[in-house]
Amino acid sequence: MLKNQRTLAKPCSLSGTGLHTGNRTTVTFRPSAENTGIRFRRVDLPEKPEIPADIDHVVDNLRDTTIGQGGVQIRQVEHVLAAVYGLEIDNVVIELDSNEPPVGDGSAMPFVEILQRAGFEEQDSPKDYLTIEETIAYSDKEKGIDMVVFPSDDFRITFMVDYQNPALGTQYTSMYSLTDEFVKEFASARTFCFLHEVEALHDKGLIQGGNLGNAVVIIDRKLENNELQALARKFGLKDEIVPGSTGILGGKELRYPNEPVRHKTLDLIGDLALIGRPLKAHVMAARSGHAAHVELVKQIRKLYKKQQITHKYQTQPAKKGVFLDAQAIQRILPHRYPFLLVDRIVDLIPGERVIGIKNVSMNEPFFTGHFPSHPIMPGVLIVEAMAQTGAILILDSIEEPEKKLAYFMSIDQVKFRKPVVPGDQLQIEVSLVRSRASSYKMAGKAYVSGELVCEAELMAGIVNR
């Protein structure tokens, strides 16, 4: 069933203390127009700068997820984003009068409750789902992290953690329906850490607003009375800390037997919100944290950008193995016969690389004179085919590419390895080396049947048509 986008019916606010900074802070959620997405706004700064909640603006992911732009940062956004994503809100402005949202009880439930009270408003545009059509995997063997994203008709998560601690052990959870399960089963799962981490984090200037009311501290070593007293002083607690019999500092009870892995799932939902679109996929994660989530989201985001390019330029379904056909290429490049030297694009990773194909036919006009009795594709045209393939890569990375041209400024380190003759198929691979303002440096290679026939370094500048 087609679903429309949603925003809030009215603004709502929540005040409290930031977990890491200890700053007193207020977060205000405001309705936003359709197709504007999720944006944070720092209202404590003069120009009230905004930071889009997407993976391109993540600046730190060590102990939480921090986004930033132009030197302005907001840390630990994952619980706020989990609440927004879990309630299927597409467009919202999240205002903060500090650099960190309030931690509440360490879960997403305080945000969920105020958002539910504010109510939701359906908008006119349909939701822009990112549908996963191929398996995506991320793995870190040294840390034992594995994450896989499978195609699915709905958004699902399966999460497993394996802590070498008797208080936790191996934990597992699954979420099959965001609509039915998020609020009831996951939103109230609290953040947690191990006792050995607490003092180290505090001494690094983190968890300055942490206390036993907003975090679950797992006891992973024996505590003497003097250590308990030192912990109480460090965190400004008036009452004595007791170990308790639950394996949790202060004797607290878990809200669920597997609350830690449910909170890890909550964090993952918040980090997946950085894709910028609702997801249709089954995400399976083992022993992952924010850093791994960010790397996975980067891969998914690339897939989303590829889909955007296809939808923008490919007006009819392309054949299998074709990313952009000849007609789509002509919507990006100004070149036409007899100087359009790219027949199709078979792969493109935005901002990284592109692979194009040029079929070299005996009917090419340049074979009439180069050479009539011994036809060889001119080397300068092989380089031109590279340049046109690279232009597709860089023109897509700018706004309104139909109004721009890629002028090539220099060509260096050109080497011709083998002649290209009628009947050959050139596979042209161009990678972006660096970009600065409106100039781009690329490395190009051309192959025939897997053999390198030409390579070059290309420098291009973007100008108005």
Q: Which two tokens stand for residue 90?
A: 């597409």
- Tokens coding 108: 């997403």
pLDDT tens digit sequence for 121-179: 999 999 999 999 889 999 999 999 999 999 999 999 999 998 777 667 889 999 999 99
pTM, entire model: 0.83
What is the residue-averaged pLDDT of the chain? 90
CB burial string 371-382: b at 16+ within 10 A, e below: eeeebebebebb
Say what the pLDDT of residue 238 is: 47
In the structure encoding, which two tokens stand for residue 224, read together? 């003497």
Question: What's the average model confidence in pLDDT over 210-217?
Answer: 72
- Strand order across the beta sheet in which 38-42 lies: 12-17, 24-31, 92-96, 38-42, 50-52
Nearest to 456 by CA among 445, 447, 465, 441: 445
Q: Which two tokens stand for residue 218?
A: 């797992």
Pick the range with the lowest mean pLDDT from 66-75, 113-122, 163-172, 422-431: 163-172
Residue whose token pair is 């050995």 = 196
Distance CA(212)–CA(184), nearest Å, equals 23
For the segment 448-457, what is each residue's pLDDT rounded down to a tens digit? 999 999 999 9
Q: Give the dihedral of Cα atoms 89, 95, 96, 102; nearest 10 deg.
A: -30
Contacts of 439 (CB under 8 A, 6+ apart): 409, 459, 460, 461, 462
Q: What's the average model confidence in pLDDT over 398-427?
A: 91
Torsion of CA 411, 414, 418, 420, to 10 degrees: 10
> Residues 20, 79, 263, 290: which is the catalytic one?
290
Is 290 catalytic? The answer is yes
Which CATH number describes the domain made up of 314-464?
Answer: 3.10.129.10
pLDDT digits (tens, 9 = 90+) for 326-348: 999 999 999 999 999 999 999 99
Q: Kindly report each contact of residues 58-65 with a partner whose C-beta sits within 8 Å and lies 24 or more positions away, as own/partner.
A: 58/274, 58/294, 61/290, 61/291, 61/293, 61/294, 62/290, 62/291, 63/20, 63/201, 63/206, 63/290, 64/19, 64/20, 64/290, 65/270, 65/271, 65/274, 65/290, 65/293, 65/294
Give mean pLDDT, residues 215-221: 74
Highest mean pLDDT among 161-170, 312-321, 377-386, 395-404: 377-386
d(CA 43, CA 347): 42
pLDDT tens digits for range 266-287: 999 999 999 999 999 999 999 9
Question: If DSSP codes are grouped into helix, strand and coil, which group holds residue 304?
Answer: helix
CATH 3.10.129.10 residue ranges of the chain are: 314-464
Walk across the sheet containing 58-60 and list its strands: 58-60, 66-69, 72-74
**Catalytic position from the list 57, 202, 335, 370:** 370
Question: Is 96's pLDDT higher than 70?
Answer: yes
263 is an active site residue: no
Q: What H or E segment, with its residue span, contains residue 336? A: none
What is the C-alpha R_g of the chain? 27
Residue 61 confidence class, pLDDT cut points 50, 70, 90: confident
Judged by average pLDDT, the poorest of 44-58, 106-120, 158-172, 193-207 is: 193-207
Instruction: Say what the pLDDT of residue 403 is.
Output: 80
Please give the pLDDT value at position 215. Answer: 77
Whether residue 323 has pLDDT greater than 60: yes
pLDDT for res 203: 67
Q: With a cut of 90, say whether residue 41 has pLDDT above it.
A: yes
Residue 108 has pLDDT above 50, yes or no: yes
For domain 4-190+259-309, the CATH class is alpha beta
**What is the reported pLDDT for 304?**
86
Q: Does residue 121 or residue 317 have the better pLDDT?
A: 121
Which residues are bridge partners to 434 per DSSP? 441
Is the pLDDT at 51 greater than 50? The verdict is yes
Q: pLDDT tens across 224-264, in order?
A: 666 666 666 665 554 555 555 566 776 678 899 999 999 99
Q: Which of 349-358, 373-382, 402-411 is the least confident region?
A: 402-411
Sequence ranges of the chain with CATH classification 3.30.230.20: 4-190+259-309
Name the residue among 427, 424, 414, 412 with its Cα closest to residue 454: 414
